[in-house]
C-alpha cells in the first residue's frame, strides 16, 4: 500500500464513546480523513443507517465475503460478525486520505500485523463505573447484553498494551481535538509521550482490576 495517508485503527470498550468521537472528528476535520465503514451481521440500532454506521448484512452474505477474500480483517463479537471491506480502504489510502478503521481488538491486531505502520489507538471511559453507567444509560440493550459487554471489556483490556496510544474520553470536544492532534503527529512520540500506552500502565491496570470485578459479579 503506497500512499501519503495513514492507516489508523480506533478501538475501545463498548460504551467508551468511540463512535461519537469518530462522528465528531469527521464533522470537524472531515477533509483529512476517510472513515471506513465496517460490515456487520448485527441489526441496526435506532438512528443507524445502512452504509453510514455499518453495512448491515446477513450472516450468509458476510461468510460469502470471507470466502471471496473481500475483507481486510473480521471477527465475531457477542454473537455477531464485524469486518472491514478491502476495496474502500485501498481507494481512500491511494487518494492520500488518513483512513480510520473503528474495529475490535482482534481485527486491530490483524491489521497491525499486515501493515506495521498502522497507528493503533484505544479509547476508554475515565473509569469502569463510568463505562457501566454509559452502557446502561443508552438503553439500547438488555441487562444480559450489558453484562456481556462488560465481561468482554475485561477481555479486551488484556490487549491494550499492544496499542500505540490510549485516549481517555472524559470531555468529548477535548478528546476529539486530542485524537486529531495525535494522528497528525503520531510519529513524534516525544510530543505525545503522555498518551502512549506505555505511559498509562497504572490507569490500564486499575481499569482491568475494576472490569474483572464486574465480570465476576462482585460489583
Contact criterion met (CB below 8 Å) for 179 and 164: no
Q: Is 12 annotated as a binding residue?
A: yes
Check whether 17 is labelled as a binding-site residue.
yes
Ligand-binding site membership of 15 (annotated):
yes
Cα–Cα distance for residue pair 111/95, rounded to 1 Å = 20
Q: Give the C-alpha separation, 155 to 69, whole Å.
A: 28
Residue 16 annotated as lining a ligand binding site: yes
Q: Is 13 annotated as a binding residue?
A: yes
In the chain, the largest separation of any two C-alpha atoms, in whole Å, equals: 50
Tell how many helices (H) and how many strands (E) occur in the chain.
8, 9
Residue 30, marked binder: no
Instruction: Reduce the DSSP state of residue 72 to 3 states and report it.
Output: strand
Is residue 47 part of an annotated ligand binding site? no
The C-alpha cell of 22 is what? Answer: 469518530
**Binding site, annotated residues for ATP:** 12-19
**Binding site, annotated residues:** 12-19
Amino acid at each position: 500500500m503506497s500512499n501519503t495517508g495513514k492507516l489508523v485503527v480506533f478501538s475501545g470498550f463498548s460504551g467508551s464513546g468511540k463512535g461519537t468521537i469518530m462522528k465528531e472528528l469527521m464533522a470537524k476535520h472531515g477533509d483529512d480523513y476517510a472513515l471506513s465503514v465496517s460490515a456487520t451481521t448485527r441489526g441496526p440500532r435506532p438512528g443507524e443507517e445502512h452504509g453510514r454506521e455499518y453495512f448491515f448484512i446477513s450472516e450468509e452474505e458476510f461468510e460469502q465475503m470471507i470466502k471471496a477474500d473481500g475483507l481486510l480483517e473480521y471477527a465475531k463479537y457477542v454473537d455477531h460478525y464485524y469486518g472491514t471491506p478491502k476495496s474502500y480502504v485501498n481507494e481512500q489510502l491511494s487518494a492520500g486520505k488518513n483512513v480510520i478503521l473503528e474495529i475490535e481488538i482482534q481485527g486491530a491486531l490483524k491489521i497491525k500485523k499486515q501493515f506495521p505502520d498502522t497507528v493503533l489507538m484505544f479509547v476508554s471511559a475515565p473509569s469502569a463505573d463510568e463505562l457501566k453507567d454509559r452502557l446502561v444509560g443508552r438503553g439500547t440493550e438488555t441487562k444480559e447484553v450489558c453484562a456481556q459487554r462488560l465481561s468482554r471489556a475485561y477481555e479486551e483490556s488484556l490487549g491494550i498494551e499492544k496499542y500505540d496510544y490510549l485516549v481517555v474520553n472524559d470531555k468529548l470536544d477535548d478528546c476529539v481535538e486530542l485524537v486529531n492532534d495525535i494522528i497528525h503527529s503520531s510519529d513524534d512520540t516525544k510530543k505525545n509521550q503522555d498518551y502512549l500506552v506505555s505511559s498509562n500502565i497504572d490507569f490500564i491496570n486499575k481499569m482491568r482490576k475494576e472490569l474483572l470485578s464486574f465480570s465476576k459479579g462482585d460489583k
